[in-house]
A and B are shown apart, each in its own frame.
Chain A
Amino acid sequence: MTLTISDSLDRTSALRALEALRNGVPNRDAVRALGPTQPRTVDAFESLLTQLDSPAGPATVEGLLLSADFGVGKSHTLRLLEQLALQQGFVVSTVVVSKETPLHDPTRLFLAAVRNARIPDARGEFVVNLANKSKAKGSRYNEFHDWALRGQPHQIVEASAVLFERLTNPDDTRAIIDYWSGDKIGVSDLRRMMKETGIDSKAFDLKQVKQAELAPVRFELVSRLTRAAGYKGWIILFDEVELVARYSVLQRAKAYAQLTRWLGAVPNQSTPGIGAVATISADYALAALDGRDLVQVPQKLRAKGEEQSLALLSLAEEGMSIISNSSIHLDEANSQTVVSAADRLATIYATAYGVSPVIDPATMDANQFKDMRAYVRRWVNEWDLRRLHPDAVLDTEFEEIVTSYEEDKDLQAESSDED
């Protein structure tokens, strides 16, 4: 199945598309109108979706790592993949790696994935929507329930699933769903709920579990709840993974290990029912791995000597190998894609402003830039200026945007209330 290219955006959608392109952030309208430009990636993603939608139950699948220079179209491609997945009945989360959402921290990744999730046929409140839909879904809900009771290690999670089935008080039900979404829940509250629903709380060890330990369980819980709600699986899109380079050595090691878990289909480490796609800058291996992390990460972890650190090293090395050897390199702009993009963008512009922009042949030289972003920004900017200043002689200049891979201690610091 391919994304339906929208040849007929309405005017507001056309304006939206242009507004997003002025921000350098393609939105749904923009990707629908501009269409796919990375056929190899789309094929690989379709294959991932097919594997994930397994009738035998939630599958563990290898993810995809997409690499490209700045502006070639990583974010555009992710947004397109999001649309494809939603169209085919998957739920999708987009996580932008950042200070607040570092790749090495599964707890914060989970919270970001829940916060930024989209469901094909509903808005917001991701886990609430899933939970409400799941109860009506019969056998798939039973699969979820069986896993919660027998397939995961924490009795407090088991208790929450038992309670979810029995509770009738909406505030208490919401508290359970919020717990699944990442909130805390008090043991005394759980005991009270159990008493009120006739469940023997002594039958469960309601010991609190640390958030970091709960994160992988929560990912799997929500993944299984996704299927219980009638969706085919959960796609998580990780954007701007190159920010990892700016963390400390140990954090980078953990991030590489996380990448392996998300992309590598590691038995007992990867989450069933979740398919991941990540983007990274094309020169990451050269700039951050060769001569730096390929040396520093093993040095750091071997110096610790513990079994845990050596296990982490194994995963981290696999992650670095994925970055170096296993990414899909996005295609750079070529004469065909430049012409196609210009035509489609001109159609969007005409819909938005009622005037067909003139495509200056001088702006169509496919050898001028590798990245489609530069072409798009130039066209939109020049068309805006021509519309506003019909008699002006335009003189466009370009400034290079350079990615930094230096460590940044401030990315690693928590901000305090006194700040």
Chain B
Amino acid sequence: MSAPMQLTDWLDATASNYLKDFVPAGGSAVKFAIAMGDVSTSEIVSGVSDKARDLDFLTATIDASRVKIGSIEKVLAAICEQIDLYDLIDKLIVNLMADQHWVAPAPGPEPLADRLAAANNLGASSAALMLRPALESQIFYNDQIAQDMRAAILGLANERLIGGDSMVTAFSTIGEWLTGNLTKISSVRRYQIHSKVNRGNARFLFESFLQVIKLAGIPGLVVTIDISRFLSSEKQPDQINYAKASLLDAYEVLREFVDATDDLENFLMVVAAPMSFLDTNTKGRGLGRYPALYNRVYDEVRDRNLTNPLSALVRVGTAIEVDQ
């Protein structure tokens, strides 16, 4: 087995190869980082998130002990809970008018349309009128984005321009829709959103969400998932417990993300796992438990001495001494 890579070296390599290059250019990757020796999974998570934020990515961190990874809609919900929708919509609106060289407005209590007009020497109603063609062409008619997501983003953008109580209601209600907290679908019908987020539509909604992030001029989204909880069968009262069946469901969701990189853009997922994840026993709790994931990420071809930081699975930290 190759020696692990120092965490700082791997973080630097990830930043230069993925965060500064491939991902902002539209690429997408899923990496498994195995915490070895004196490095913890939480250090991997915080290291990746810090690097990403420094480069203006949106970030979300997920702990498998708090979020049921076996449900892709819950993973999407956990991601959306960590995204500032107001900031996203503001960036989207300004970036849609990038060819008009609009500047971002100063923050303030006035409706965004007024602030945009002031910042760009426009009449108040002109800003909204000028935005309409861009919103139509890049959101309304954009079939790369799911219909419900188009409706959601248009609803948020229009309400953001207007401001006031209706804006607050829209962001709250549509936020509930995205984060899986909606009790009645009828609450979002007025925004032309037709379906709750469920297993059937979650993946395309996530792809669509990434498209919106890209349209907002943001380099991308970086999601880190700490799966330490997978490796323990001990039930904990305040945590998600992964019995064997639900463990397989969780590995299936991760496998789906690996396979979906063809359709995802501007996205990096780093799965941080403890060393026990490398257990190849088909009856254990590690990678060997789920052949479809094992076949994809396990480094059965590797150098004896050097770690490739671009590999799907990378051992990060310090070497473990083995008693002879």
Contact = CB atoms under 8 A, between A and B. Distances in A.
B261 A182 contact: no
Interface residues of A, number: 64
A181 B200 contact: yes
Interface stretch (A36-44, A185-193, A329-337, A386-394): A386-394
Interface stretch (A135-143, A147-155, A409-417): A409-417
A288 interface: no
B299 to A, nearest CB: 8
A226 B68 CA distance: 35
9 contacts: A11-B25, A22-B311, A99-B249, A240-B292, A401-B300, A404-B291, A415-B248, A418-B241, A419-B245
A298 B21 CA distance: 57
Task: Return the 10 tightest CB-CB contacts between A and B, nearest first.
Answer: A415-B246, A419-B246, A124-B204, A413-B245, A410-B244, A377-B301, A415-B245, A399-B300, A27-B262, A419-B243
A199 interface: no
Contacts of B296: 23-25
Interface stretch (B46-54, B83-91, B95-103, B143-151): B143-151
Contacts of B244: 410, 413
A311 B298 CA distance: 42
Contacts of A413: 244-245
A396 B294 contact: no
Contacts of B207: 123-124
Contacts of A378: 301
B26 to A, nearest CB: 5
B282 A123 contact: no
Interface stretch (B57-65, B125-133, B302-310): B302-310
A115 B200 contact: yes
Contacts of A205: none
Interface of B: 13, 21-22, 25-30, 70, 143-144, 146-147, 189, 192, 194-195, 199-201, 203-204, 207-208, 240-249, 252, 255, 258-259, 261-263, 282, 291-292, 294-298, 300-306, 308-312
Contact of A12 (B26, B282, B301, B304): B26
Interface stretch (A50-58, A170-178, A259-267, A319-327): A170-178
A125 interface: yes
Contacts of A403: 291
Contacts of A86: none
A100 B245 CA distance: 10
Interface string A232-271: 0000000010010000000000000000000000000000
A359 interface: no
Given A123-B144, A404-B291, 6 more contacts: A24-B296, A115-B199, A174-B194, A377-B301, A396-B303, A419-B241
A381 B311 contact: yes
A381 B310 CA distance: 8
Given A96-B292, A381-B302, A125 B252 contact: no
A360 interface: no
Contacts of B249: 99-100, 415
Interface string A114-142: 11000000111100100000000000000
A130 to B, nearest CB: 13
B292 to A, nearest CB: 6
A24 B295 contact: yes
A385 B201 contact: no
Given A27-B262, A410-B244, A125 B305 contact: no
A392 B28 CA distance: 29
A243 B252 CA distance: 13
B184 to A, nearest CB: 13
Contacts of B204: 123-125
Given A125-B204, A385-B303, A410-B248, A401 B146 contact: no
Nearest to A19: B29
